[in-house]
Structure 1
Amino acid sequence: MLRLVARRLLWSVPLVLAAAAVSFIAVGLLPGDAARSLLGQNATEEQLQQARHQLGLDLPLWEQYWHWLTNALQGDLGTSLISRTPVVDELNSRIGASLSLIIGATLLAAVVGIALGVRGARRGRIGRLVDTVSVIGLAVPDFWLGLILVVVFAVELQLFPPNGYVDPLEDPIGWASSLVLPVITLAVPAVAIIAKQTRDAVATALDRPFVRTLRAAGISDRSILFRHALRNAAIPILTVVGLVFVGALSGTVAVEFIFAIPGLGSTAVQATAAHDFPLIQGVVVYFTLIVIVVNLAVDLAYGYFNPRVRLT
């Protein structure tokens, strides 16, 4: 298992560097000018040139990336071109909101999706219902669902706040209340994916020969389902839960915008619009590190459910 962890961590280094390089090049090719975003539309060309020189934007793209990379390796992701605050400080103040949203949505989707999938694994009408719910859940756009939830539960029923984010250290109840609608919005498509995968994986496990042997030995169906079939189906379920977590990173962009949550997704949109290189790079690094941690956690879970993975 230690070899597995070490190998994954070793591979994470080139992954972070590659993601940062690709994003830097992509942003550099986008139309826009950070100096104009900073000074406004009425700035003269001389003022723009002076601002570009001060910000280092007049250097070749490879040289800008090299300066950024050498500082990043020392833990300095630079300073936001627009807000003039350290990127690390700005992102650290926002990552809590994004992680609260993503972790909450993933947990909700996993609990509900696995419950639906297990219930529908025996086929019949429940199995067909799970398939139908999966199709509908995947077809519902996040932004549309979010707006509907706001209108119904925030405006009409006034059960939850329509937008905003509350610090859990200041008001835990307010924090939980502010996350209900965005978490449900982000979790609905994920519930459909996990339910379908769980149903198929558990149904396949129940059709294997060892299940017939257990039934012949007098083991109850409930015990077979939860102690044996579900454990054998854990690997594909864990895989799709990990993919759901990673996919939620991109889903936060729309959800954070709808509910005015100050997270990494909304920061990425604002930074891209302002052509804020350091802030965009910081978001990419944070997202990449989150993906690495999630993949490592999934690999460790593989080792728990499948001992053969520990020997690889």
Structure 2
Amino acid sequence: MVTFILKRIGSGLVVLAAISCLTFFLLYFSSTNIARNILGEYATPEQVAAKQAELGLDQPIFSRFLAWVAEALTGNFGTSWFTNESVVQAISNRLPVTLALVVTSIVIIAILSTLIGVAAAVKRGWIDRAVQIAAVIGDAIPNFVLAIVFVTIFAIQLGFFPATSSIQPGADGGAWVASLTLPVIALVISGLTSGAQQVRSAVIKQLEKDYVRTLRSRGISEGVILFKHVLRSAAPAGLTVLSLQFIGMLGGVVIIEQIFALPGMGALAVQSTTLGDTPLVMGVVLYTVIIVILVNLLVDLANGWLNPKVRVS
């Protein structure tokens, strides 16, 4: 197990280093005159040159990258070039909103998709057909379309929820619930059908295997067979889908946060990328990749616990 974990961590660190390098150089080649953007169009050439020297923009790209890596390894990701806010502080203020939105949605999807998928696999009939039809419809409708419909009906027209987020520093739990309810529902509806479809297929595949018939011939109840044996064997497929949905939400939640004006990582990523704020963009990318690596590691560990063959693959 230790070797298994070390291999996963090592591969994650390689991915983190590759993405950091690629992002830094892409920002260098795609950015315009950052110093001019910071100072404004009326700044003199001397002021622009002084600002470039202050930010280290007059240094070779490799020197700048190595300097950034040296600071990042100590936990210092610098400050925003446009707001002078610490990158760590800017991310820590917004990351909880995004994580609360995505984690809540994934937990609800995991519970409901398991219940619906198992019911569809065992009962078959109309519920099975409904799950398959809903999966096709759910894949065809983007979550941001559902978000626009929900905010129009339940926030603007009926006034049940705030049209824009009321989450602020020090906000109470009521503000968080009111602001996150509609976006969570939009994400859950969008991801539930595909998750239920995957669980259904995995459970049906397990129910058709020989070991299930052997357990039944021994007189073991259907409930024990289903929840102790079949679900454990079918769980890796469901966990893989949930991990992919989590990663997809983490990147795709940008539009959802814009629709509901949530102060999360999505808005920060869009703003910093638009401005060419390299320290902030690198911080956002690094934190996002670290979260993805941790999620994949946890899923791999769960799959390794459920299926020992994974540990030696």
State the TM-score bracket (shorter-chain normalisation).
over 0.9
Change over 3 Å in CA distance of 1:168–1:108 after alignment to 2: farther
Deviates more, 1:278-287 or 1:60-69: 60-69
Give per-residue Cα distances to partners, 1:111-146, cap 9 Å, x unaligned: 222222112114332222111111111111222211
| Correspondence 1:214 to 2:215 | yes
Kindly state the Cα deviation for residue 163 of structure 1 after the two structures are TM-superposed: 2.0
Kindly state the Cα deviation for residue 167 of structure 1 after the two structures are TM-superposed: 5.8
CA distance in structure 1 between the partners assigned to 2:42 and 2:146 by the alignment: 40
TM-score in terms of structure 1 length: 0.93
CA distance in structure 1 between the partners assigned to 2:44 and 2:253 by the alignment: 37
Conservation of the 8 A alpha-carbon contact between 2:77 and 2:87: yes
The one-letter code matched in structure 1 to 2:258 is: F
| Structure 2 SS opposite 1:8 | helix
Superposition pairs of residues 189-268 of structure 1, within 5 angstroms: 189-268=190-269
Kindly state the Cα deviation for residue 181 of structure 1 after the two structures are TM-superposed: 1.0
The one-letter code matched in structure 1 to 2:298 is: A
Conservation of the 8 A alpha-carbon contact between 2:167 and 2:262: no
Give per-residue Cα distances to partners, 1:145-164, cap 9 Å, x unaligned: 11111011112222222221
Kindly state the Cα deviation for residue 168 of structure 1 after the two structures are TM-superposed: 9.1
Kindly state the Cα deviation for residue 170 of structure 1 after the two structures are TM-superposed: 4.0
| Correspondence 1:176 to 2:173 | no
- Percent identity between matched residues is 40
Kindly state the Cα deviation for residue 2 of structure 1 after the two structures are TM-superposed: 2.3
Kindly state the Cα deviation for residue 16 of structure 1 after the two structures are TM-superposed: 1.4
Q: Residue 75 of structure 1 aligns with which residue?
A: 75
What runs of 5+ residues in structure 1 fail to find an aligned partner?
Answer: none
Conservation of the 8 A alpha-carbon contact between 1:167 and 1:175: no
Conservation of the 8 A alpha-carbon contact between 1:114 and 1:198: yes
Superposition pairs of residues 85-164 of structure 1, within 5 angstroms: 85-122=85-122, 123-164=124-165
Conservation of the 8 A alpha-carbon contact between 1:165 and 1:262: no
The one-letter code matched in structure 1 to 2:7 is: R
CA distance in structure 1 between the partners assigned to 2:283 and 2:146 by the alignment: 30
Conservation of the 8 A alpha-carbon contact between 1:182 and 1:259: yes
What runs of 5+ residues in structure 2 fail to find an aligned partner?
Answer: none
Deviates more, 1:111-120 or 1:90-99: 111-120
Give per-residue Cα distances to partners, 1:14-71, cap 9 Å, x unaligned: 2211111011112222253322332233434443333222212222222221111111
Q: Residue 303 of structure 2 aligns with which residue?
A: 302
CA distance in structure 2 between the partners assigned to 1:89 and 1:56 by the alignment: 22
Kindly state the Cα deviation for residue 4 of structure 1 after the two structures are TM-superposed: 1.8
CA distance in structure 1 between the partners assigned to 2:147 and 2:45 by the alignment: 43
Q: Residue 2 of structure 1 aligns with which residue?
A: 2
Output the aligned Cα RMSD: 1.9
Change over 3 Å in CA distance of 1:91–1:133 after alignment to 2: same
CA distance in structure 2 between the partners assigned to 1:165 and 1:199 by the alignment: 39
The one-letter code matched in structure 1 to 2:90 is: E
CA distance in structure 2 between the partners assigned to 1:221 and 1:136 by the alignment: 32
Conservation of the 8 A alpha-carbon contact between 2:78 and 2:86: yes
Q: How many residues align?
A: 312
